Amino acid sequence: MMLKNVKMPMTAGGGTSNRRSLKSALKRGFTIMELVIVIAVIAVLAAVLIPTFANITERANTSADTQTVKNLNTILISEETLGNKPATMAEALAVAESGGYKVENLTPTGDGNNIVWLKERNRFALLDEDGELVYSDSSVTTLDGLTAYKMSSTLEDLKNDDPFAYCFTSETDVGDGAVEVSRSADFSLVEGITSIAVTNSSAMEITAEGEDIAVTVNGTATLGIYGTVGSISGKDYGDESLHIYGTVTGKIELAAGRVVAMPGSDINTITVTAKSAGDVTIERQSGSAISAIGAINADVAANLEVEGDASDIDISKSTVSNDFAGGMGTEANPYLISTPAQLTKISNGKTDSPKYYRLINDIVIGEGGIGSAETGIKGNAGELQAVASLPNAFEIVLDGDNFTIYGPEVGLQYEGNGRKYIFGGTFDNVTVKNINFNLTAYMPTIAAKLRNECNFENVTFNGSTSWENNMGLFGIYVNSTANENSHTVTIKNCTNNANIKGAQNNALIVGYPNGKVTINVDGFTNNGRYVDEKAGIVFGNSAGYSDNYGYVLNSELVINISNFDNSNGIISSLTSDTVNPYIASVTNPESGYTSLKLTVDGVVLVNGIISGTGVDGEEVNKLNALTVDNYSKGNNGSLALTLNNDGTFTVTELTGQTVDYYVVMLKIYASQNNGGTILYTMSEKLSGDNLTTELKNLQIIDKSVATEENGYTVAADINGYAVVEKGGVQYYVYDFSSSYIDGVGTLSVVVMAYDADDSLLASAELSN
């Protein structure tokens, strides 16, 4: 049955809504389908277009890198036409910077690209990630046989498995300064390198810039050295040879193999350490320079030869030392000293001719072995138990080349005592010039003893120090033994900027001349502050020589002084009213005399016997009457010292000046077995409200006498000083094994006032 015109019943709101929903659903279905299709089309297009876009970007980056290389090469070519062809990548980078390119902008933009410098062609090139040539210029068609230098800022790149040589930037961290390398590398932009160990199993080259850099070669393949290094050493450089293109400021040690001085190179010294001359070859090419060649073996030295022009090379036919940074010890080529250890190698024995030495670096005494030798120098007063850097030096000339020798800040502990350092022990026919000394509390002077002819020229003193007795800037003793030869010390154009505080009988020039001594001072400027109980200029004390066997050596002194300038300095004697500004103290040996001829600026002021039995005092009075411009005596003000009933001492404070602390010093003179006097001292520092000492007014007894067998018992130490007692009387104990006490050994006592800078302000002796 067919139903016609039958209408379906419709619920309220139902029929029409359903038709709309169906239509909407159909419509939404078509939209989703279309969207899926669009996405699919986009995906297809992306698969096709993204690589294209990436290629376009990469080509753009490569194009930019190529343009950079073109511009760099344009600059290099332009400079080449002017005769400026770089030998290293660092030099090529400098040329690039002169053309407006900064080193930091040479990083390629293309992924995997490398901008390198091709050494043999002097061209920059662009390489891809596989190391293939992308672009350079028409002169570069292949990389075969070319060394490609790449920039880096980390030494770790030396371990890479790649074909590059490396040029390291200034940002490179070199750690402790020791570098190991087995491929070509340019370190010339890097600071802080001290040594380079090279393993050259194949041909390579090293570039560096540092006069102190030590290069060690551990291979026999061809090795080129560019830039500047201090020294080169190796067991065997091989037949392929060591080629020097740059500067070696020190020495090349040649044990075996071949060394070639290439055009433009400059080598200070080649020291041959081989046992046979046939084991080594030295070639000098045109345009190179070699200052000196020597050998440590006599047979090798006698047979040294050079391939090439050797007419201007100082070739030693006698043996030379290998202990120094370079040089051969001649006047034209002095031994070079770069380290403290090398300083200690200065010749200690007499030689047929003077040996010449020159500093090429600042030196700090106490470092690198200086002072390690057990060479003690017993100075005056037993206080200067010192170890000398140069125990003895004979017939030497030391040119400081305006470098500085710094004294140590701590003392050497030796046999339980804190010893000081002295730059030199005995200087015998020694010349020291063009040098600065920085004095400290532990290096108060240059030398312990000066003998025969000693010359000091253009020597400058800085820093601060303190002196006990018989001390001077240039030395303690001049002729300290019973030597009747004439001894001369010449000071020329020297300067003191150091601040010095002294105990007694010291002087700016020397401490204690003995016998026949001439001191010439021609140009001396004092800018420092020198304060002493008795402050002298030329020498601090002179009492001649006499021993226990009746031998007497009279002192015959000559002083010539001119061009002395103290206009900006202070020389202040604190307690003596009669001290002469040129000579602090002059006495005569027992049964002997002291004569003096004193000439100041060409005028003879004193000429005669000034101390001795029967002297009428005329010359002494002339001596004490002399004055010097800007010579100041100082002012003790209210400073005083009193003895208390219990044997201690109390300080009366100094008024008018700011005092930081006081030092009370107990002193005693004793005669040495070889003559002269030494001053034993004990001291205590006082500060704050308590200005009464623990030290007491006691006599001193010899250690050998103060024994239990002799009835002495050990008492409590006083301020750290040993004390013994017998019969209710206490004594300080000292070892007088090399001297004897004058008189009964009673003490003289002095108080010294210091400011916060440890400068001596005033001094006063205990009044009777």
Render pLDDT for 495-538 as a digit per residue (tens, 0 to 9). 999 999 888 788 999 998 988 999 999 999 999 888 887 788 89
What pLDDT score was predicted for residue 368? Answer: 42
Report the interhelical angle of 89-98 vs 15-81 (nearest 10°). 100
| Average pLDDT of the residues in 135-147 | 87
| Average pLDDT of the residues in 244-254 | 96
Instruction: State yes or no: pLDDT of 344 exceeds 50.
Output: yes
Instruction: State yes or no: pLDDT of 630 exceeds 50.
Output: no
What pLDDT score was predicted for residue 675? Answer: 56
| Average pLDDT of the residues in 578-583 | 54
What pLDDT score was predicted for residue 105? Answer: 62
Q: How far apart are CA 559 and CA 489, in angstroms?
A: 10
Q: How far apart are CA 675 and CA 739, in angstroms?
A: 9
| Average pLDDT of the residues in 61-70 | 82
Q: How far apart are CA 629 and CA 566, in angstroms?
A: 7
Please tell me whether residue 105 adopts helix, strand or coil conformation. helix
pLDDT tens, residue by residue, 685-725: 998 778 999 999 888 888 888 899 999 999 989 988 899 99
Q: Which of 67-71, 347-351, 399-403, 601-605 has the highest mean pLDDT?
A: 399-403
Helical segments of 471-571, H only: none
More confident residue, 266 or 572: 266
Ranking 351-355, 483-487, 581-585 by mean pLDDT, the lowest is 581-585
Token digits for 664? Answer: 């009370």
Token digits for 538? Answer: 């030329």
- In terms of Cα–Cα distance, which of 466, 467, 481 is closest to 513? 481
What pLDDT score was predicted for residue 582? Answer: 62
pLDDT band at 433 (very low <50, low <70, confident <90, very high): very high
Q: Which of 12-16, 729-733, 764-768 has the highest mean pLDDT?
A: 729-733
Residues of the chain with pLDDT > 70, as a percent, come to 78
Q: Are 450 and 470 in contact (CB under 8 A)?
A: no
Sign of CA dihedral 93, 120, 115, 181: negative
Report the b/e string of 314-334 with b at 16+ CB within 10 A. bbbeebbbbebbbbbbbeebb
Ranking 1-15, 69-83, 245-259, 314-328 by mean pLDDT, the lowest is 1-15
| Average pLDDT of the residues in 679-690 | 83
More confident residue, 593 or 331: 331
More confident residue, 217 or 143: 217
More confident residue, 642 or 34: 642
What pLDDT score was predicted for residue 26? Answer: 46
What pLDDT score was predicted for residue 658? Answer: 83
Instruction: State yes or no: pLDDT of 454 exceeds 80.
Output: yes
What pLDDT score was predicted for residue 203? Answer: 94
Instruction: State yes or no: pLDDT of 310 exceeds 90.
Output: yes
- Pairing mode of beta strands 760-765, 649-652: unpaired
The average confidence (pLDDT) of the chain is 81
| Average pLDDT of the residues in 434-457 | 91
| CA-CA-CA-CA dihedral for 678, 684, 685, 688, to nearest 10 | -150
pLDDT band at 586 (very low <50, low <70, confident <90, very high): confident
pLDDT band at 234 (very low <50, low <70, confident <90, very high): very high
What pLDDT score was predicted for residue 277? Answer: 93
Q: Enumerate the β-bridge partners of residue 763.
A: 752
Instruction: State yes or no: pLDDT of 484 exceeds 60.
Output: yes
- Pairing mode of beta strands 555-565, 593-600: parallel
What pLDDT score was predicted for residue 376? Answer: 38
pLDDT band at 655 (very low <50, low <70, confident <90, very high): confident
∠ Cα 581 584 587 (to 5°): 135
| Average pLDDT of the residues in 56-77 | 79
Q: How far apart are CA 198 and CA 204, in angstroms?
A: 10
Instruction: State yes or no: pLDDT of 112 exceeds 70.
Output: yes
More confident residue, 402 or 392: 402
More confident residue, 697 or 759: 697
pLDDT tens, residue by residue, 275-295: 999 999 999 999 999 999 999
pLDDT band at 320 (very low <50, low <70, confident <90, very high): very high
What pLDDT score was predicted for residue 700? Answer: 83
Instruction: State yes or no: pLDDT of 419 exceeds 50.
Output: no
Q: Are 535 and 506 in contact (CB under 8 A)?
A: yes
| Average pLDDT of the residues in 436-450 | 88
What pLDDT score was predicted for residue 495? Answer: 98
Q: How far apart are CA 746 and CA 728, in angstroms?
A: 17
Backbone angles phi, psi at 556, to 5 degrees: -120, 100
What pLDDT score was predicted for residue 543? Answer: 75
| Average pLDDT of the residues in 162-183 | 93
What pLDDT score was predicted for residue 737? Answer: 73
Instruction: State yes or no: pLDDT of 579 exceeds 80.
Output: no
Q: Which of 84-88, 272-276, 746-750, 761-765 has the highest mean pLDDT?
A: 272-276
Q: Which of 99-103, 305-309, 735-739 has the highest mean pLDDT?
A: 305-309
- Pairing mode of beta strands 661-672, 677-686: antiparallel
What pLDDT score was predicted for residue 384? Answer: 38
What pLDDT score was predicted for residue 620? Answer: 61
CB atoms within 10 A of CB 738: 12
What pLDDT score was predicted for residue 349? Answer: 58
| Average pLDDT of the residues in 132-140 | 86
Q: Enumerate the β-bridge partners of residue 413.
A: 418
